[in-house]
Structure 1
Amino acid sequence: MAYTHWQRQLREGLAEMQLPLSESQQQQLLAFLALLNKWNRAYNLTAVRDEEEMVSRQLLDSLSIVPWITTEHLLDVGAGGGLPGIPLAIIWPEKRFTLLDSNGKKTRFLHQCVLELGLKNVDVIHGRAEDCQPEQAFSQISSRAFTALDSMVNWCGSLLAQEGSFLAMKGQYPDDEIAALPASWKVSSSHSLNVPGASGERHLLVVARAEETQ
């Protein structure tokens, strides 16, 4: 895939999403994508192998949740290949991002991204969510292709501030997962995501503690 083709896909996608980014931010996003593509061959960081789909399914998909991020310090659990955490950190250098994953190969890749892309606002933690003990709880926690909703709240609930919320990125609307949520948690809102160039459904579920438990 010619680099210029990725450039055009990204520029057109950002315009459709009404997300104005500087030329340097766009170049940084493409540099991240090139790193991800290179390391993916050996480390199996993402299931997306088709270079034609990478801008849409990795960069634009990650940026599709921008309107719902309100925190100054986001935790991305099951960060894997850095999606959505790294693209979000690139467009918001003034915010902090903590990327958590239990897979050592994936966190080594994330450390390499931080180094090569010069991301001063990203911290990488290698470990299980259940074992993580942050100095203070997070007001928002993102996840993408991480785990079912009930497992997410059970494993990561202690990391979330009392009034905080999970931003769970899903494909099709997960009725079964929602039905399996413990009574102490609720889907406070859901949003259909528009990802230019991507086929299939994409949804964002905002999950918070049920009122009686707050």
Structure 2
Amino acid sequence: MSAAATVCAALGLAATAAQLDALDRYLALLRRWNSTYNLTAVRDPEQMLTQHLADCLAVVKPLAQRLPAGRVLDVGSGGGLPGVVLAVMGWDVSCVDTVGKKAAFIRQVAAELRLAKLHAVHSRVEQWRAPAFDLITSRAFASLADFVTLTGSHLKPGGCWMAMKGRLPEDEIAALPADIEVFHVEQLAVPGLDAQRCLVWMRKR
């Protein structure tokens, strides 16, 4: 069983053979490009599998329950986490990053894996112009207050934010603007990872 297949099985995800192949190839590309482009501080292949691929796949089921399909904006995407993983699993994803080489890597991934629904954008998100999105996510972008403030113009009416966090960021939640509400916090179990993970779901009041 491949690395991606093992993780998907542990998470109870029904992934196709093509999706599993794409996830494995993405992980291989991330390892290869990381040696030159410094896409992530994680170097060990096993840790990459757990801390990156498994961590991002853990959000697929919760996201599918709220947004089975639609347009997703991944802010501060870095090496494409979680954006590339979500695009492989079926969403239309735009990955925005201020670092050109990271956007170039995501473009290369989209080309090599033939992911028509994966888009790379080299820009500051607050300066970028695009049609609004159903959902905006980030993994290690900023505080919750900065996240919603910088990206608010990109959210569709009725859309929501999904912030990937470690421990529950109570101080960050307390500092949110008054017009933003946290409507759900979801604890995640990441296969092989002995650390707390949660999703903070937010929307405009």
* TM-score of Structure 1 vs Structure 2, range by shorter chain: over 0.9
Counterpart amino acid of residue 14 in structure 1: C
Alignment of 1:114 with 2:110, yes or no, is yes
**Aligned match of 1:155:** 150
Aligned residue pairs total 201
**Aligned match of 1:123:** 119
Q: Give the deviation of 1:133 after TM superposition.
A: 1.3
TM-score relative to the length of structure 2? 0.93
Alignment of 1:203 with 2:198, yes or no, is yes
1:31-180 maps to which residues of 2 (within 5 A)? 31-69=25-63, 70=67, 71-92=69-90, 95-134=91-130, 136-180=131-175
Contact preservation (8 Å) 2:13, 2:61: no
Q: Give the deviation of 1:105 after TM superposition.
A: 1.1
Aligned mates of 1:178, 1:19 — CA distance in 2: 30
Counterpart amino acid of residue 206 in structure 1: W
Q: Give the deviation of 1:42 after TM superposition.
A: 1.9
**Aligned match of 2:24:** 30
Contact preservation (8 Å) 1:129, 1:156: yes
Aligned mates of 1:105, 1:169 — CA distance in 2: 23
Contact preservation (8 Å) 1:53, 1:198: no
**Aligned match of 2:184:** 189
CA RMSD across the alignment: 1.4
Q: Give the deviation of 1:162 after TM superposition.
A: 2.5
Of 11, 14, 28, 1:20 maps to 14
- Between 1:43-52 and 1:160-169, the stretch displaced more is 43-52
TM-score relative to the length of structure 1? 0.89
Alignment of 1:11 with 2:11, yes or no, is no
User: Unaligned stretches of 5+ in structure 1?
Assistant: none
Counterpart amino acid of residue 119 in structure 1: L
Identity of aligned pairs, percent? Answer: 40
Aligned mates of 2:62, 2:94 — CA distance in 1: 17
SS in 2 for 1:108: helix
Q: Give the deviation of 1:44 after TM superposition.
A: 1.6
Q: Give the deviation of 1:116 after TM superposition.
A: 1.1
Contact preservation (8 Å) 1:130, 1:155: yes
